[in-house]
Structure 1
Amino acid sequence: MPVSVVRFNLVEPDATPASLGARYRAALEMAAYADEHGITTVQTEEHHGVANNWLPSPFAFAGAVFGATSRVAVTVSAVIGPLHDPLRLAEEIAVLDLLSGGRLVTVAGIGYRPEEYAIFDVDWKRRGKLQDEVLETLLKAWTGEPFEYRGRTVRVTPRPQTEPHPLLLVGGSSKAAARRAARLGLPFFPSAHLPQLEAYYKERLVEYGTEGWTMMPGAETPLLHIAEDPDRTWAEYGRHFLHEARTYASWQSGDIRSAVKSAATTVDELRAEGVYRILTPEQCVQLGLDNLVLHPLAGGMPVDEGWRSLRLFAERVLPALAD
């Protein structure tokens, strides 16, 4: 049975507070429905100051999801580590770990948008050193014991439930990220299918004498939408996928490697590219992928259409995969 993921970034261009609030509440209802129907994971993410209202507070959203569910994991992929106070981040994750019974998965990246660092007056050029400090502080803080932090002794409480600590992965597409993960003995989450980088990470584990593992996207990791009539759905709703794809493309320089990187400038190009796919339930079953990532509210997708996709996935795709 493949891992099944429902992704939410809560994008809505030209939203009003009322419409965005309705979208947030719909996402929580979808998460509860996903939980009831055996979907494995809710995935969310962090971006700041985006005109289309991209979710900036993934842990607040994760807490709401945990309150509405009992089994599903929530993966924050990714938190932009250097933008957070390390001690406060340790507390936030510990509390969510306790609330959820260990269902939170955090992928820590350093981001790729200097303008986000500028919003918080964080030095872009120091992002590597800041990320080291964040990760090292989290691991020390979660022991519940006093430790030295910026020249003083501190202690963070409460301790999380998960032993030895909540699941924390280092995300990225660079050798520096792979080295950082290996040095700290943390799992590595490449941002795309990068087998050579995975091999480099494993070599560094041996060098540092640490242990770890890789959670890497497959060679194919499309973002899925399920519909009875893909042609009609592309015609009516393809602009929402294109909006998200173009937003991502505007952020990503040539050296950024991402599983969702797109060069499309039209809906037809996007459809041909295959990063976003609208499939019938039967076509989705036939994909044969180990991970199925449903994106029901992509790019400001109308909530009703998002629900149609989610219900088709839960009621016709997952039962067929279980047979």
Structure 2
Amino acid sequence: MPVTVVRFNLVEPAATPASLRARYQAALEMAAYADEHGITTVQTEEHHGVANNWLPSPFAFAGAVFGATRRIAVTVSAIIGPLHDPLRLAEEIAVLDLLSGGRLVTVAGIGYRPEEYALFDVEWKRRGKLQDELLETLLKAWTGEEFEYQGRTVRVTPRPFTDPHPLLLVGGSSQAAARRAARLGLPFFPSAHLPELEAYYKERLVEYGTDGWTMMPAAETPLLHIAEDPDAVWATHGEHFLHEARTYASWQSGDIRSAVKSAATDVTELRAEGVYRVLTPDECVAQGLDNLVLHPLAGGMPVVEGWRSLRLFCEDVLPRLDG
């Protein structure tokens, strides 16, 4: 059975508090509906100070999803590790792990927007060192034992539900990220389909004498929207996909490698590119994808249209996927 994901970043340009409240509530209702229909994962992420209201608090959102669901996992992909206090983050993840019964997956990256570091007065040039400290501290904290932290003895409680600790992956597209994951014996989550980086990670596992595995995006990982009439959706709502694609593009320098990186400058180019795909249910089944990532509220998509896509996916695509 393919992995099925419903993604939420709660973007809404020119939102009001009331419209954002409605969007957040819709996302929770969609997560509950996805859970009832057997979707595998809710995926969310972290960005700060974005004019279009990109979700800045993925763990708060994850907690709300867990309260509305029974089985579905929540993957936070990714947090910007150096922006978090390590002890507070250890507590927060432990509590979510207990509340959810082990359904939280955290991917820790270091981000790629210096302005986010400036917002929190965190030094951009120290991000690698801060990431090392964060990951090392989380692993020590989740043992429930005392350990030395910044010159003092500390202990973090409660211990998580998951043994030995909640699922924590190191994200990134650099050799430094792969080395970090291997050194700590943590799984590696490349930000795109990067077989050469996976091979490098496996070599470092041997070097450090640690165990690990890779969760790598497939060569094609399109963001999907399901519709009876894709032409009509592109004509009416294509600007929402383009808004998100252009936002991502404005953040990413040439050396950033991402599974959802787009070079499109208009809706026509975006449709031809294939990063975002609007498909009929039949077309979606025929894609034969191992990972299906539905993005029902992409770029401020109207909630009504998001529901239409999600229902078509759950009612007319999921039953026909190979079990």
Per the normalisation by structure 2, the TM-score is 1.00
Superposed CA deviations along residues 111-148 of structure 1, whole A, max 9, x for unmatched, are 00000000000000000000000000000000000000
SS in 2 for 1:82: helix
Looking at structure 2, the residues matched to 282 and 238 of structure 1 have their Cα atoms a distance apart, in angstroms, of 21
Question: Are residues 1:290 and 2:290 paired?
Answer: yes
Superposed CA deviations along residues 41-87 of structure 1, whole A, max 9, x for unmatched, are 00000000000000000000000000000000000000100000000
Per the normalisation by structure 1, the TM-score is 1.00
C-alpha displacement of 1:322? 4.2
Question: Are residues 1:61 and 2:61 paired?
Answer: yes
Question: Are residues 1:187 and 2:187 paired?
Answer: yes
Looking at structure 1, the residues matched to 126 and 322 of structure 2 have their Cα atoms a distance apart, in angstroms, of 48
Tell me the residue number matched to 1:161: 161
Tell me the residue number matched to 1:219: 219
In the alignment of these two chains, the number of paired residues is 323
Looking at structure 2, the residues matched to 288 and 123 of structure 1 have their Cα atoms a distance apart, in angstroms, of 44
What code does the residue aligned with 1:137 have? T
Alignment of 1:25-36 (within 5 A): 25-36=25-36
Alignment of 1:104-119 (within 5 A): 104-119=104-119
Tell me the residue number matched to 2:143: 143
What code does the residue aligned with 2:249 have? A
Tell me the residue number matched to 2:123: 123
Tell me the residue number matched to 2:71: 71
Looking at structure 2, the residues matched to 249 and 226 of structure 1 have their Cα atoms a distance apart, in angstroms, of 24
SS in 1 for 2:321: helix
SS in 2 for 1:318: helix
Superposed CA deviations along residues 213-242 of structure 1, whole A, max 9, x for unmatched, are 000000000000000000111000000000
C-alpha displacement of 1:285? 0.3
Superposed CA deviations along residues 139-177 of structure 1, whole A, max 9, x for unmatched, are 000000000000000000000010010000000000000
SS in 2 for 1:148: strand
What code does the residue aligned with 2:311 have? R
Backbone CA RMSD of aligned residues: 0.5
Percent sequence identity is 89
Looking at structure 1, the residues matched to 62 and 287 of structure 2 have their Cα atoms a distance apart, in angstroms, of 29
What code does the residue aligned with 1:256 have? I
Tell me the residue number matched to 2:259: 259
Structure 1 portions without partners, runs of 5+: none
C-alpha displacement of 1:13? 0.1
Contact in 1 for aligned 2:2/2:322 (Cα 8 Å): no
What code does the residue aligned with 1:288 have? G
Looking at structure 1, the residues matched to 252 and 29 of structure 2 have their Cα atoms a distance apart, in angstroms, of 32
What code does the residue aligned with 1:298 have? A
Contact in 1 for aligned 2:241/2:299 (Cα 8 Å): yes
Looking at structure 2, the residues matched to 61 and 20 of structure 1 have their Cα atoms a distance apart, in angstroms, of 13
C-alpha displacement of 1:286? 0.6
What code does the residue aligned with 1:215 have? M
